[in-house]
Structure 1
Amino acid sequence: MQSPTMDADVLVIGGGNAALCAALMAREAGARVLLLESAPRDWRGGNSAHTRNLRCMHDAPQDVLVDAYPEEEYWQDLLKVTGGITDEHLARLVIRHSSACRPWMRRHGVRFQPALAGTLHVARTNAFFMGGGKALVNAYYRSAQALGVQVRYDSPVDRLDIEDGQFQAAWVQGQRITAKTCVLAAGGFESNREWLREAWGQNARGEWPADNFLIRGTAFNRGVLLKHLLDDHGADRIGDPTQAHMVAIDARAPLYDGGICTRIDCVSLGVVVNREARRFYDEGEDFWPKRYAVWGRLVAQQPGQIGYSIIDSKAIGRFMPPVFPGVRADSLPELAQKLGLDETTFMQTLTDYNRACRVGRFDHTVLDDCHTENLAPPKTHWARPIDTAPFYGYALKPGVTFTYLGLQTDDTAAVRFAGRPSRNLFVAGEMMAGNVLGKGYTAGVGMSIGTAFGRIAGANAALAAKQQKAQSLQALTATEMKANHVIA
């Protein structure tokens, strides 16, 4: 009698950072690993290809990281942006993991570089990838190939065979693929327009906000497996389907894969108005890396899901320049006309703002004392009158990076069914990020989550596969001994 042949010890579904970390860890542990990437080879890597950095805890300066960024400060930053909607145990697990993962990343070919001009706010907290996320993804794929990880591209998984919470097989275009264990790292549902429409619904103005969303990352994250696990297999869920890493990006950005270069980073240096030419939020609430991800959701709640970032010439050179030039005008009335905004309302908004500014010592590198008084909404920091020509305006639309609805897990990265962890099905990356990110975002934390849980899931999947193999051998030996005894 022989045990059934498996296509792999560990099957990894996904092709981005979390999936690659899982595949590499499992392979390092001696497992036979098969990775299924739904995208073609040229588009491999998912959203990870668009990333730039990793948020890292450290207690002292470390090569590209300056000063210190201790655990408690990292936790407080995360607590603030999530509003407390986070699992503290899992969040701290991610934080601690971020302090120790970079040597392992380097062994697999990832290189880091100091923060560049325009990113100095995060020089203390974030380690930047040399060559960006694409270079990181390529390094991991090269390492995976060298170690013997099997990779199949153009291989979307549309369903899983699961019995009593245990993984049996995955189906790819009619082919059944078996493995002892499986890691799910196939991303969220941000490129599934129908699901976004269902989640966001119709607003009081009769609009379908999701129809105006742009997708900053891959077109391949449609959430097929996520919906399958939640709806068909009853996996435990976590998160709000409307919550996401959502950024206000250039309204002229492409529908998919615009990436980091579509961001408009001058919000905190001016004001933002909606289609009705009225301000709607505090542009100077906190440092941009901590607050940039709230603006996509804010714009999504405005009429027509559009906003306009307004600055004057004093702001030029103080932010990362966008790919597309802004609308330029020599006067504010001219700028209103060029942006298609009501001139009277626009001028009243700007006049009220300019009058309310109390300019102290302007310093965009700290939470300075330049603020507004008797203005709603206020501008808490970096408030200076917009009064120096030329003036610039940038139209903004919501840009979704990844969604937060996902699979509930624990510190083993196991998928849970009715509160019970699976013994051989694990999850990492965007499919479980909602355990840590209930809402909000702070720069680089998505890569921290993907790296931590990718490595945890890969290691535990390899261990579970090894245990399953040992149990199978014991059962086989017992069966053979019994058969021999009967024959004798």
Structure 2
Amino acid sequence: MIDVLVIGGGNAALCAALMAREAGASVLLLESAPPEWRGGNSMHVRNLRCMHDQPQDVLLEAYPEEEFWQDLLKVTGGVTDEKLARLVIRASSTCRDWMRRHGVNFQPSLSGTLHLSRTNAFFMGGGKALLNAYYRSAQALGVQVRYDAPVDAIELDGDRFVAARVKGERIEAKSCVLACGGFESNREWMRAAWGQNERGEWPADNFIVRGTRFNQGVLLKAMMDAGADIIGDPTQAHCVAIDARAPLYDGGIVTRVDCVSLGVMLNRDARRFYDEGEDFWPKRYAIWGRLVALQPGQVGYCVIDSKPVGRFMPPVFPGVKADTLPELAQQLGLHVATFMQTIGDFNAACRVGSFDHTVLDDCHTEGLAPAKTHWARPIDTGPFYGYALRPGITFTYLGLKTDEHAAVHFGGKPSANLFVAGEMMAGNVLGKGYTAGVGMSIGTAFGRLAGTSAARAALREAAHAAA
């Protein structure tokens, strides 16, 4: 019988598998995807948010625990477990040497990501390189990996893990780590979670999945049915406004449109609906998917003029371009008169001071609702550009309640041999909102923790059996 069974194939699962193997346990990892699609959403990641008290190679200055905590508190609105959040924050300061030992390399932030140069460590080669490094290390250490191995059922004895079933095969293990993601790719579940709005629309029908198609939530649902303790709102997710032309799955980070804070966002009625300049983009980009999801038709339109061009990461698709604002409105399919009134009111309300997109500058609007509190400049210099945006779901926050040992809980009590990591438990830390790189912080911290706990449980059982 295998010591530790790890279900999942992304960052959290691999961290768990590597830690369990390093602790002396035999490990089998089950990845539902084929090899070419291995890694779940981790193939699309770029960086890890890291606490540090002084400069560290690719990280500038300092990013102390309390500042990290305050950043998380702000984006979640307090919907977070402080004990587990601080566990993640502290773990983020000590994991990079371990990551390097397993082949992960880091690089300085590139232009266009400079807001993150102090807080986030970027992976050289991105998520694919990180995954490849971990899989190579796992193979070298003797971790068994099976692809095309979707687990469709879990066998429990009360709150204890007994076995998993893969295509009818029963696989027993002394302990198990669940790290197989949320349910964002399950269209029916997403539709049921979001329901029908007052306009008679089913918002989830217009959602795009930024990552893997394999996160169907099968084991999350199985654990819910088995009585595991659940945390989180099924409608809360890492949800970003992305180009409406993005593919349904796996468009990744390049489909994000990063010029929202430098222009205005309009809904289908050609009206603004939120402060585009509320805070730095890495802290606020992940609110825009949900904001767009609440608009008519689940669509928004980012409009800029020529002034911001070159100040943001270019998206994969070029924007709609027009020499005049009325022409742009027509190309975007928006009511021209309303569009012109909205832009005119915005332009008139702008109070331009010293524009600087790298700081919270003094360019703002007055007498306008909603206000734009930073980086507000008139949209008056052609050519003009527009991007139609849809909600892009990265991962859902509904998950399994856990603790500082990464144990799955049943009726408030931790299981002795069933553990959870990654997106399946991220809702303990992320009740809502997001800030760049924190998903990798959570996955790495709890992946390593779950692997250690699972190995300890398995080896303890083996020692007890031998006695």
TM range (shorter): over 0.9
Q: For the aligned residues, what is the CA RMSD?
A: 0.3
Q: Return the alpha-carbon distance in structure 1 between the equivalents of residues 421 and 25 of structure 2.
A: 18
Q: How does 1:22-421 map to 2 (within 5 A)?
A: 22-231=16-225, 233-421=226-414
Unaligned stretches of 5+ residues in structure 1: 1-5, 475-488
Structure 1 residue 141: Cα displacement: 0.1
Output one character per residue of 1:186-215: Cα deviation in whole Å (capped at 9) or x when no partner: 000000000000100000000000000000
Local SS of the residue matching 2:257 = coil
Q: How does 1:419-438 map to 2 (within 5 A)?
A: 419-438=412-431
Q: Return the alpha-carbon distance in structure 1 between the equivalents of residues 364 and 82 of structure 2.
A: 34
Q: Return the alpha-carbon distance in structure 2 between the equivalents of residues 17 and 95 of structure 1.
A: 17
Q: Return the alpha-carbon distance in structure 2 between the equivalents of residues 393 and 93 of structure 1.
A: 42
Structure 1 residue 164: Cα displacement: 1.4
Output one character per residue of 1:346-378: Cα deviation in whole Å (capped at 9) or x when no partner: 000000000000000000000000000010000
Q: Which amino acid aligns with 2:438?
A: V
Q: Which amino acid aligns with 2:266?
A: V
Q: Which has the larger radius of gyration?
A: 1
Unaligned stretches of 5+ residues in structure 2: none
Structure 1 residue 174: Cα displacement: 0.1
Q: Return the alpha-carbon distance in structure 2 between the equivalents of residues 121 and 312 of structure 1.
A: 22
Q: Return the alpha-carbon distance in structure 2 between the equivalents of residues 172 and 365 of structure 1.
A: 50
Q: Which amino acid aligns with 1:157?
A: V
Local SS of the residue matching 1:423 = strand
Structure 1 residue 97: Cα displacement: 0.1
Q: TM-score, length-normalised on structure 2?
A: 1.00
Output one character per residue of 1:373-403: Cα deviation in whole Å (capped at 9) or x when no partner: 0100000100000000000000000000000
Output one character per residue of 1:400-441: Cα deviation in whole Å (capped at 9) or x when no partner: 000000000000000000000000000000000000000000
Local SS of the residue matching 1:315 = coil
Q: How does 1:435-474 map to 2 (within 5 A)?
A: 435-474=428-467
Local SS of the residue matching 1:116 = coil
Q: Return the alpha-carbon distance in structure 1 between the equivalents of residues 158 and 201 of structure 2.
A: 42
Structure 1 residue 243: Cα displacement: 0.1
Output one character per residue of 1:102-140: Cα deviation in whole Å (capped at 9) or x when no partner: 000000000000000000000000000000000000000
- What's the % identity of the aligned pairs? 79
- Give the number of aligned pairs: 467
Output one character per residue of 1:71-95: Cα deviation in whole Å (capped at 9) or x when no partner: 0000000000000000000000000
Local SS of the residue matching 1:314 = coil
Local SS of the residue matching 1:9 = strand
Q: Return the alpha-carbon distance in structure 2 between the equivalents of residues 332 and 17 of structure 1.
A: 45
Q: Return the alpha-carbon distance in structure 2 between the equivalents of residues 134 and 207 of structure 1.
A: 37
